Amino acid sequence: MKKSIKTILCLSIGITMFTGCKQNTQAPSNSALASDVASKVYVAPGEYDEFYAFVSGGFSGQMSVYGIPSGRLLKVIPVFSQDAEKGYGYNEETKPMLNTSFGFIPWDDAHHPELSQTAGETDGRWVFINGNNTPRIARIDLTTFETAEIIEIPNSGGNHSSPFTTENTEYVVAGTRFAVPYPQKDMSIKEYKGNFKGALTFIDVEEETGHMEVAFQVLMPGFNYDLAHSGKGKSHGWTFFTTYNTEESNTLMEVGASQNDKDYIAAINWKKAEEYIEQGKFKTIPAQYAHNVYDEKTHIATSEMKKEVRVLDPAECPGLVYFLPTPKSPHGVDVDPTGEYIVGNGKLSADLTVHSFSKVLAAIENNSFDGEAYGIPILKMDEIVAGVVEQAGLGPLHTEFDGKGNAYTTFFISSEVVKWNVGSWEVADRAPTYYSVGHLMIPGGDSKKPEGKYLVALNKITKDRYLPTGPELNHSAQLYDISGDKMELLLDFPTIGEPHYAQGISASKVMNKSKKYYPIDENAHPHATKSESDVKVVREGNVVRIYMTAIRSHLNPDNIEGIKVGDKVYVHLTNLEQDWDVPHGFSIMGAQNAELLVMPGQTETLYWEPKQEGVYPFYCTDFCSALHQEMQGYIRVSPANANVPLKWSMGDD
Amino acid sequence: MKHIIKISLLALIFLITSCGGESKKEKEGFSYEQKTEKKAAPQATAKKESKTPASQRVDLDNKGIGPVKSVTISEQINTEMASTGEALYKQYCMACHKPDKKFIGPAPKAILDRRSPEWIMNMILNPEQMVKEDPLAKDLLVEFNGSPMANQNLTEEQARAVLEYFRTIK
């Protein structure tokens, strides 16, 4: 009896342990313990990752850069939000980057990074990202990993279906999510239907410099334009936008915008648009939008207000736009590497609808229309569908490709990634995500040449994936190995803000072009101090300009007197270093501002209004050398009516 | 009890007066083994021969470590090159090196009497490795408070011009 009790006890403990273990791993059966997963993501100290991943910062307004496969955070690039860490949007040089037609805006909601392409392949020159809230597109230079340019989008109500590129980065597009009165005016919201419009904007990208300019807008019906992708190969010259709320509802949208069985993918023939522009069939419309450019030589951003925009009306431009009926509020629209298949991810559906570009062209040729909407022909759905991936999961959102004939689609509601075959439309594999995946990313996965080795799932919900950190948890991302038949979960890592979308690229396409410092002899900042013999303090009325230098390990001048309460003080700090990774920081006690973080060879300006008399320390904020702690100085603030002469010095001279 | 209080009071008064007396002799500020210019560098890494500070030591055979293996120096100073060198020196070096007096780093005045031309150029072009591996450069780093010699990323040609400028300051 005793023996059997013992046996039962042992057994039950054993079973509990077993099941306990299984629960703890939380891993799909084909992963984790089966193979040496850790070694697949292990990048030894001092070694480099194989890929860069550019991940949207969502409501942080920024973009973060990760190494793949390690999941290591390499940098956070400030884009649409002020960043006190780097002084971005705080220092005088970068404040104009955040200028808009509404004035200075310190934040935005950044959604979709998009790498520049040449011949349909990622080329490592620039990465673009959209600001959704106050519609803007930013261009980040991949030699400096800094935001080089931001352009505001006129007549847009929320810049979501952006900034997807064409095959040679002829354009990046910016579609409005929210339809708005056109032109903007005071009117009843109930009069939405027929009166609100949705502008789809094509931004010209200058080949050499990357400079952006609004080329033209297509003035579309007042639907919501959700995502986009441009054609490639045979479909080059077209851009596809998904729509929802074709019901044109203006309230209780979760019901109102989900009535129609089908919404549309809007296919825009932008080569046709170029012809119409050439023929002068556009209207020039007054508009207000900011165009902000950072000059790498002066280290200063300038903001220019643009006054007009060219607009094409589809009703007056036959052949410019067609509607492709697609079930249930499609989110992503994704074009396979050949350019033939256009995948509609109907987010309220269980199926994926795949259109054939050849069939679209044939249907247009044969006038196979099912009526029209606001003068735009609606193609007959039966004639353009290539195939349907049936009952693949719940809530398909976004698809990318591996370049080996497979597609990978995220399903938000069923929280999984599903692999399927392009052509047979058969499901090949599925892997759970943790949890509620939005977009996914395969390096080059929306280009002609995907590098189908890894897949990153970008999740919306984190819950129990990491140690709890109170009510707010960083969104999770998961890395899968997709080189084999089955997807294998390798790694789980937290992200910053919300990772709406990401783009990946082979490190070799980017790393060798990365800048190490700014040559001081090319510094064209009007307030640069290129040699310590030129340091000075200049007063013009109550404006005081301090021309200061930094080099390991002193700030020059380090004793300053003659500043008065109420002065407007500009500290123009030039970093004289000419070596990689030797920035100097700068801050003054009591300055209602962020620090400066000045890269080698760069000049940045801190604005300070001294409020109280006294002697205040300033110092270098970025540990730079063994004598960093000595890199400090004093600034004397005298009463407004004092006669203390302006004096500056360093050392005994 | 009263006695104890009285004695304590006396002691207190004595203490106060003695303090006051001493403070008269004190200068402003304080001094605590402050280093004088004449003292040798801290001995941490110094060897026997390094009783002379590294900045004053003469070693014309040491070519240093770096890309420069041999430099040919003409009889005459190339004045054009020297003036190019002077401009470069002012822009890239002056923040830490005054031509003729010790500053953050040592002065280059008459440096060719103390160092080989190769050593000088290698120190300009390859300071990170020099301060780790070259015995003279190592001692200099200690002598100058661990203040790093910044790599200003000059080209070999630019460093050569700076060297030519150094020939003019004796």
Q: Which domains does chain A have, with CATH numbers?
A: 51-513 (2.130.10.10), 526-649 (2.60.40.420)
**Chain A nearest-CA residue for B153:** A578
Cis peptide bond upstream of A69, omega within 30: yes
Q: Give the pTM.
A: 0.89
CB half-sphere exposure, A229, CA atoms < 13 A:
26
pLDDT band at A260 (very low <50, low <70, confident <90, very high): confident
Q: Is A530 on the interface with B (CB under 8 A)?
A: yes
Residues A426-458 have pLDDT tens digits of 999 999 999 999 999 999 999 999 999 999 999
**Are the CB atoms for A332 and A343 separated by under 8 Å?**
yes
Calculate mean pLDDT across residues B54-64.
95
pLDDT band at A349 (very low <50, low <70, confident <90, very high): confident
Residues A49-86 have pLDDT tens digits of 999 999 999 999 999 999 999 999 999 999 999 999 99
pLDDT band at A14 (very low <50, low <70, confident <90, very high): very low
Q: Distance, in angstroms, between B20 CA and closest chain A CA? A: 30
State the sign of the Cα–Cα–Cα–Cα dihedral A333, A337, A341, A347: negative
**Are the CB atoms for A39 and A32 separated by under 8 Å?**
no
| pLDDT over 70 at A193, yes or no | yes
Calculate mean pLDDT across residues A297-325.
97
Residues A102-121 have pLDDT tens digits of 999 999 999 999 999 999 99
Q: Give B-chain residues touching A521 at CB under 8 angstroms.
A: 91
Nearest-5° Cα angle at B71, B67 to B74: 160
Q: Is A551 on the interface with B (CB under 8 A)?
A: yes
Give B93-102 contacts, CB < 8 A, sequence gap 24+: B93/B152, B93/B162, B94/A531, B94/A532, B94/A533, B95/A531, B95/A532, B95/A549, B95/A551, B95/A554, B95/A556, B95/A576, B96/A551, B96/A552, B96/B147, B96/B150, B99/B169, B100/B169, B102/B55
Q: Is A529 on the interface with B (CB under 8 A)?
A: no
- The first and second tokens of residue B85, run together, are 């060198």
A24-55 burial, b for 16+ CB within 10 Å, e for fewer? eeeeeeebeeeeebeeebeeeeeeebbbbbbb
Calculate mean pLDDT across residues A603-617.
98
pLDDT of residue B37: 52
Q: Distance, in angstroms, between A298 CA and closest chain B CA? A: 18
| pLDDT over 80 at A8, yes or no | no
Q: Give B-chain residues touching A558 at CB under 8 angstroms.
A: none
Q: Give B-chain residues touching A529 at CB under 8 angstroms.
A: none
> Between chains, do A552 and B146 touch, taking CB under 8 Å as contact?
no
Q: Is A552 on the interface with B (CB under 8 A)?
A: yes
Q: Is A651 on the interface with B (CB under 8 A)?
A: yes
Q: Give A-chain residues touching B148 at CB under 8 angstroms.
A: 552-553, 625-626
Is the domain B52-170 a CATH 3.40.50.10420 member? no
Residues B120-165 have pLDDT tens digits of 999 999 999 999 999 999 999 999 988 889 999 999 999 999 999 9
- Cα diameter, chain A: 102
Mutate to test the interface with A, among B86, B90, B91, B93 (most CBs of A within 10 A): B91
**Are the CB atoms for A209 and A182 separated by under 8 Å?**
no
Residues with Cβ within 8 Å of A546's Cβ and at least 6 positions away in sequence, in order, are A537, A557, A560, A569, A570, A571, A572, A648
Would you tell me how many other CB atoms lie within 10 Å of the CB of residue A237? 19
| Listed residue (A536, A538, A617, A627) closest to A574, CA to CA | A536
| Listed residue (A588, A600, A598, A579) closest to A632, CA to CA | A588
Average pLDDT of chain A is 94
Q: Distance, in angstroms, between A593 CA and closest chain B CA? A: 28
Percent of chain A with pLDDT over 90: 90
Distance from C-alpha of A138 to C-alpha of A89, rounded to nearest angstrom: 14
Residues A480-534 have pLDDT tens digits of 999 999 999 999 999 999 999 999 999 999 999 999 999 999 999 999 999 999 9
pLDDT band at B7 (very low <50, low <70, confident <90, very high): low
pLDDT of residue A340: 98
- Chain mean position to CA B149: 10
For the ranges A119-128, A224-233, A255-264, the lowest mean pLDDT is seen at A255-264
| pLDDT over 50 at A177, yes or no | yes
